[in-house]
Chain A
Amino acid sequence: MPHSVAGPEIERLIQLLARLPGLGPRSARRAALHLIKRREQLLGPLTEAIRVAHERIVVCSECGNVDTADPCTICRDERRDASIIVVVEDVSDLWALERAGALTARYHVLGGVLSPLDGVRPEHLNLDKLVARAARPEVREVILALNATVDGQTTAHYITELLAHMPVRVTRLAHGVPVGGELDYLDEGTLAAAIRQRTTF
């Protein structure tokens, strides 16, 4: 059994860092050492930032996004188009779409997708609030920006059925060849979907 080379406080720091995505025990040691060496410039500010975040982060009661205010910054932004709601699985998807900057709409975070294997059922998702939001008179379109997986699209169809009786247009993201994608390397299913959903050039 390897003996520890540092005190329990440092070992605990390493153990916690190793739980972060992308970090294993070895890279966690490197990160911990990096923080220790830059104690004033990095470790102190990081500790303070994490403490503040821990205290202030809340889930937006409107859309399910995470922020330090409720409603979140996006829901409070008057410049955003309130007639469009973009439905995403997770906050990471919301951030990805915001990075793309393709539209300035409101969002709705489901908190997952229907997944029998993981035991995720409709009642575990943020669906009631979505139906309530879609029923508002200003909402004209709901964009289902869910993953192109069987679970993601099962959830998309389930939501489409939930909203079927409402006067809103339900759309979804296109499926097909990604930018930079070479046809030779794409799976047959993606190619078939791209052919089916071809557009006029």
Chain B
Amino acid sequence: MHWSDEGLVLGARRHGESSVILELMTREHGRHLGLVHGGRSKRLQPVLQPGNSVHATWRARLDEHLGSYVIEPGATRSARFIDVPLALYGVGALAALLRLLPERDPHPALYEAATVLAGHLDDVHVAPALFVRFELVLLAELGFGLDLSRCAATGRADDLAYVSPKSGRAVSAEAGAPYRQRLLPLPRFLLAGASGRDPTAEAVKEGFALTEHFMRVHLFEPRGLDVPEERARFVAAALRAAAAPDV
């Protein structure tokens, strides 16, 4: 068995003295693990940091084997991340969420979203909104997509202000007003055509609360899991960044 693909590094676990078991999110082969011989060498260790992109060639005798990777560096982002707590926490949260995917299940759209997000995690102006959008893509890829295009009650595409916690469909401000205590706020940066740059701390909080609700209901609770700590750390850092974007 043999293939080559692009991949985003999610993590690497030591294996023996000089090798690592590398976890990649690949475009065509999903979340995929493999052994990297010499993965702890001075040459490869900087390449195999979470958040970096690589070109991977995987080989194994049988498809169900762990197999081994030959890695060539792609975009190296981790050195940029090291100075930015938001980016470091973001990489951890991104990897934690991608680990919800079954291994070797291809999700090209999610790979694209994850790569775009990884490329901007150190940009405090856009990272929080991008992360919320990534979580929406994750929910959609796992079959629990939200419909934020028009109001579930009136069919209007403007004046959207809430999301139904049950159906995951948007609700306009007018239609939702009587039920607003039971609805989830829809932050403006998630509306079609809206900019995700420098959202307010309140909007960031609403965005993460929205995705957390649906991830909790559809992804975490059915598996007996809690929301990952890495995400909580990222959300706290994102709220701090949104409150003081130039600090």
Contact = CB atoms under 8 A, between A and B. Distances in A.
Interface residues of B, dominant DSSP:
mixed
**Interface residue tally of chain A, by bracket?**
20 to 34
Interface stretch (B59-67, B138-146, B197-205, B227-235): B227-235
B38 to A, nearest CB: 15
**Interface residue tally of chain B, by bracket?**
20 to 34
Nearest to A187: B46
B78 A117 contact: no
Contact of B76 (A153, A157, A175, A187): A187
Interface string B86-123: 00110110011001000000000000000000000000
B89 A188 contact: no
Contacts of B156: none
Contacts of B89: 154, 157
Contacts of B76: 187-189
A71 to B, nearest CB: 31
B13 interface: yes
A38 B11 CA distance: 45
Interface string A164-190: 000000000001000000000001111
Nearest to B9: A150
Interface stretch (B47-55, B161-169, B180-188, B210-218): B47-55
Contacts of A175: 79, 82
A16 to B, nearest CB: 17
A154 B80 contact: no
Contacts of B245: none
Contacts of B83: 193, 196
Given A117-B13, A188-B76, A188-B79, A150 B46 contact: no
B80 A192 contact: yes
Contacts of B12: 117
A116 B85 contact: no
B101 to A, nearest CB: 15
Contacts of A22: 17
Contact of A150 (B17, B47, B82, B228): B82
Interface in B3-34: 10-13, 17, 23
Given A21-B17, A157-B85, A121 B79 contact: no
Given A22-B17, A150-B49, A150-B50, A189 B79 contact: yes
A149 interface: yes
Given A189-B79, A190-B46, A116 B88 contact: no
A114 B50 CA distance: 13
Contact of B91 (A115, A121, A150, A196): A150
Contacts of B77: 189
19 contacts: A22-B17, A116-B96, A117-B10, A117-B11, A117-B12, A122-B229, A150-B92, A151-B50, A154-B89, A154-B91, A154-B92, A158-B233, A160-B85, A175-B82, A187-B47, A189-B46, A189-B49, A193-B79, A193-B82
